[in-house]
Amino acid sequence: MNCYECAMRDRRETVAVASCSTCGAAACVEHVRVGAAVVHEHSPGNPADYRLPGRRLYDVTCAPPGSVTPQEAMEGTVPAS
């Protein structure tokens, strides 16, 4: 499987290392982002956000705010939420 972003933007074939948790597109190391899934609970008078356990992989288009590159994630520079 090849990276969708590389194929569309750069017209090159790059081996994908992950598929996006949101849209399912294949992403290479350059275009994959590591983040967390957050559930937004809406209740009258007490809305809350809950971070789900584990990590999620996204392509650059779907990556939520606070997502980092795999290199940054391995170095431990993932922002705390």
Is 58 in contact with 22 (CB distance < 8 Å)? yes
Q: pLDDT confidence of 79, banded at 50, 70, 90? A: low
Q: pLDDT confidence of 78, banded at 50, 70, 90? A: low
Closest CA to 68 of 37, 16, 13, 77: 77
Over residues 24-70, the pLDDT tens digits come to 999 999 999 999 888 888 888 888 888 888 889 999 999 988 889 88
In the chain, helix, strand, coil percent, each to 5? 15, 30, 55
What's the pLDDT at 81? 47
Q: Where do the domains of the chain lie?
A: 4-74
Q: pLDDT confidence of 77, banded at 50, 70, 90? A: low
Is 51 in contact with 37 (CB distance < 8 Å)? yes
- Number of C-beta neighbours around residue 3 at 10 A: 25
